[in-house]
Amino acid sequence: MNRLGNLIRAHRQAKNLLIRQVAAELGIDPSLLSRIERGDKKPTRAQVVQLSEILEADKNQFLAIFLSGKVVSILRDESSALEAIVLARQQLSGLMVHSPYQPQQAV
């Protein structure tokens, strides 16, 4: 499954941009971007953020798909994967409550 590559391609095509145009803005070879779109190569986190900016796409959506792919690649062969996800979610929820970066509620 290549959700991120498909998303990148869909946004690029919707903006009528060529691979070479986006690759030039990203500072990479067009063949690398093509491989990222096909799922043959994984982009870096910085490239994902930069792609979302170039394509004027939702950065959080791009990052969420990127990060979920990393989690799946780590847990793919683990029999306790779903339990680990539940525990990680609980831990992350606890961190978010104490995070200084939480958006403030409107009063």
In a domain, 104, yes or no: no
10 Å CB burial of residue 17 (0-12, 13-18, 19+) is: middle
Closest CA to 5 of 27, 36, 32: 36
Residues 64-90: tens digit of each pLDDT: 999 999 999 999 999 999 999 999 999
CATH number at residue 66: 1.10.260.40
Q: How far apart are CA 65 and CA 48, in angstroms?
A: 10
Q: How far apart are CA 39 and CA 28, in angstroms?
A: 16
10 Å CB burial of residue 70 (0-12, 13-18, 19+) is: exposed
So what's the pLDDT on residue 106? 47
Which domain, by its residues, includes 89? Answer: 3-97
Residues 92-106: tens digit of each pLDDT: 888 776 555 555 454
In a domain, 34, yes or no: yes
How many structural domains is the chain composed of?
1
In a domain, 103, yes or no: no
What long-range pairs does 79-86 form, CB within 8 A, spacing at least 24? none
